[in-house]
Amino acid sequence: MTTFVFRLKAPRPTFALDMTAEEREVMGRHAAYWQPLVENGRMVVFGPVLDSTGSWGLGVVEADDEDEIRAFAEGDPVVTTGTAEIEVGQMLAGFVRPR
């Protein structure tokens, strides 16, 4: 199984702190969209990050099919609505928690 890292690029650095009602609704759908991967144990970690550059989202997912997981990310409501962008990277090495 391969591990993929997702970075949600918010439309502005303060996004996590000052979302509009419409953006909050889209983010709720975004979280629900990824929930099946949380429930089936493929999602290692998922959530917002605050750092010196502002806010962004992090997801780390284990998957067998890179094309499938990239297509899944492209179907995320934040992407399809133009609310944010998602970048996908593949981890080449490292350690993932034991199952």
Q: Which CATH number characterizes residue 82's domain?
A: 3.30.70.1060
24: amino acid identity, one letter = R
pTM metric for this prediction: 0.87
pLDDT of residue 99: 64
Spans of the chain, pLDDT less than 50: none
pLDDT of residue 20: 96
Host H or E run for residue 51: strand 43-51
In whole angstroms, give the CA distance from residue 84 to residue 72: 15
Bridge partners, residue 34, by sequence: none
For the chain, what is the domain count? 1
pLDDT of residue 61: 94
With respect to residue 96, please indicate whether it lies within any of the assigned structural domains.
no
- Owner of token pair 């629900």: 32
Write out the residue range of the structural domain in which residue 65 sits.
2-90
